[in-house]
Chains A and B, each alone.
Chain A
Amino acid sequence: MNVEITDLTRRFGRVRAVAGVSLQAGPGVLGLLGPNGAGKTTLLRTLATVISPSSGRIRLLGRDPGAHRQRREIRRRLGYVPQNLGYYPGFTVVEFVEYFALLKEMPPATVSRAVASTVERVGLGDKATAKLRTLSGGMLRRVAIAQGIVNEPELLLLDEPTAGLDPELRVEFRALLRELGQRATVVVSTHLVEDVGSACARVALMDRGRVVFHGTPAELSARAEGTNAAGDAPLERGYSAVLAESRS
């Protein structure tokens, strides 16, 4: 298993953003579903080694992120796409992706080719030398994704990656997600159930800091059977049914 989480809790003051989560994930795409404020971003940031857990145990790619040397090894093999990308006004698309390739300590000789192919891969080849400040929101999302995959990560963490993408790009992105999931463990947080239905082999549903469901999309859909849960599609009804059950 590339991700092993046992009884993970993360507090901010009195708030428990993540409350006793246990989860495992191997290669493939795991969808992290849940309403706003469910704890998805905190869980992803913890997996990205940006914040440390208040309690509980994590192993990533067979290593302990709490140990300094192992944490560096994890980070070199990790890709992280945050929900909101910081503003790097003077950078071009290529410079931005190159910067993160170098931060991941990729061998300098391989960087320029990897950057060029990654920029093409996310469909920004014609914008390679454009300044980030001139790009639209959807293009910036693609730049963020590019920096996350430039090092061919074994573990890729994406926080709401389809937010701000138009429907056409969203479809393209889901195809990219499926492709990435063939080689790596991909954890993608979203509140759009259609992202999960088309790209994820497994899904974990979070609510109020806890994982209230973990299974396949088909199993989530099946949870709506025999209920009058709201939703336009089976997966949406399953989502609503599990949330209603966990809150009752």
Chain B
Amino acid sequence: MRGLTLYLRSRGTPMALALAGGCAALMWSLWSVFSDSPTVGPVMVILTVLLLVAAVTATLGGPDDALDATAGLRWPRRRVTHLLAAFLVVVVLLLVTAATGARFGPAGLVVRDAAGLLGLTALGAATMGTARAWFMPLGWTLAAVLFPRAEPLLGRVLTWPAQPPASTAAAVTAGLLAAGGLVAYAMAGPAQRPPAEAAQQ
């Protein structure tokens, strides 16, 4: 238990949870104040999922990933647990609003986008490092929200975050990103910068 506490603190988890909770509360408040509808609009839901994913992204790496990597732990197992916990945080924070006057949903949309965007972030962390991991989810989501395409199939795949919850193409794309990100991050962990001497010779 002590090890888990120190691990979570080393990843800045308390701050990330506070930030995620704060973002969810802010978006909920904005909708409650400025809209008469009890159901939050899809664009607002998608952007809120993105914000929450960005908030937990920082926990995917520590202050010194090279030093962490020398630990004798079963890292893949711990990384999978970490990602699943992050996914639950994002989903639960939004789905609890179902009991309030400003509901983020439907659940299918929240679950799909949270899984896909978190997978994309994990993929980014494993390939580019944690500091840049949120670039891809941010760019992809904004492009999908601004230029949604219902046809052809490629359009639904490329704009999966903004597709309706019933879209099979979007669900499959999100599932693939989630699985790919989970495997890449679990096996490789956060990417590390090469030593300075790699550029000196």
Which residue of the partner chain, among A16, A42, A108, contacts B2 with CB atoms under 8 Å?
Answer: A108
Decide if B146 is an interface residue (CB 8 Å cutoff).
Answer: no
How far, in angstroms, from A40 to B195 measured CA to CA in the complex? 10
Q: Say which one of A24-32, A81-89, A161-169, A180-188 lies at the interface with B.
A: A81-89
Contact in complex: A103, B68 (CB < 8 Å): yes
Give the Cβ gap from B175 to chain A, nearest Cβ, in Å: 27
Determine the interface band of chain B, counting residues with CB < 8 A from chain A. 20 to 34
The distance from the CB of A21 to the nearest CB of chain B, in whole angstroms, is 14
Contact B9 A90 (CB under 8 A): yes
Task: Closest B residue to A19 by CB, please name it.
Answer: B201
Give the CA-CA distance A78 to B66 in the complex, in Å. 14
Q: Cα distance A147–B66 when bound, in Å?
A: 14
- From B7, B70, B195, A75 is in contact (CB under 8 Å) with B70
The answer on a CB contact under 8 Å between A82 and B6 is no
Contact (Cβ within 8 A) A41 B70? no
Interface residues of B in 1-35 (CB under 8 A from A): 2-3, 6-7, 9-10
Question: What is the CA–CA distance of A99 and B64 in the complex, to the nearest angstrom?
Answer: 13
B197 to A85, Cβ gap below 8 A?
Answer: no
Q: Interface size (A, Cβ < 8 Å)?
A: 42
Query: Is A99 a contact of B72 with CB atoms below 8 Å?
Result: no
A103 x B200 contact (CB < 8 A): no
> Which residues in B have their C-beta under 8 angstroms from that of A45?
66, 195
Q: Across the interface, which residues of B come within 8 angstroms of A80, CB to CB?
A: 67, 70
Does chain A have a CB within 8 A of B173? Answer: no
What residue in chain B is nearest A147 (Cβ atoms)?
Answer: B67
Contacts between the two chains (Cβ within 8 Å), count = 100
Asked whether, in the complex, the Cβ of A37 is within 8 Å of the Cβ of B200, the reply is: yes
B63 beta carbon closer than 8 Å to chain A: yes
B152 within 8 A of A: no
Q: Is B69 an interface residue (CB 8 A)?
A: yes
Cβ A98 vs Cβ B2 within 8 A:
yes
Scoring B2, B7, B197, B201 by chain A CB atoms within 10 A of each residue's CB, the highest score goes to B197
Q: Which of B63, B71, B195, B198 makes the CB contact (< 8 A) with A103?
A: B71
Q: Which of A36, A50, A88 contacts B69 (CB 8 A)?
A: A50
A76 interface residue (CB < 8 Å to B): yes
Residue of B nearest to A72 (CB): B72
Contact A104 B67 (CB under 8 A): no
- Inter-chain contact A12/B194, CB cutoff 8 Å: yes
Min C-beta distance of A163 to chain B, whole Å: 13
Are A12 and B198 in contact, with the CB atoms below 8 A? yes
Known contacts: A15-B201, A17-B198, A208-B201. The answer to whether A82 contacts B2 by CB under 8 A is no
User: Closest residue of chain B to A38, judged by CB?
Assistant: B197
A15 CA to B70 CA in the complex, in Å?
Answer: 24
Kindly provide the distance from the CB of A24 to the nearest chain B CB, expressed in whole angstroms: 22
Specify which of B66, B195, B199 lies most central, judged by the most chain A CB atoms within 10 Å of its CB: B195
State the Cβ distance, B195 to closest chain A Cβ, in Å.
4
Point out the residue from A51, A72, A86, A100 that lies within 8 Å of B63, measured CB to CB.
Answer: A86
| B62 close to chain A: CB less than 8 A | yes
The 14 sampled A-B contact pairs (Cβ below 8 Å) are A36-B197, A41-B195, A42-B194, A42-B195, A45-B66, A48-B70, A72-B72, A72-B73, A91-B10, A98-B6, A99-B3, A99-B6, A108-B3, A208-B201
Residues of A within 8 A of B (CB): 12-13, 15-17, 36-42, 45, 48-51, 72-73, 75-76, 78, 80, 82, 85-88, 90-91, 95, 98-100, 102-105, 108, 147, 208-209
Name the 7 nearest CB pairs between A and B, nearest first: A86-B64, A37-B200, A86-B63, A103-B71, A12-B198, A102-B3, A76-B72
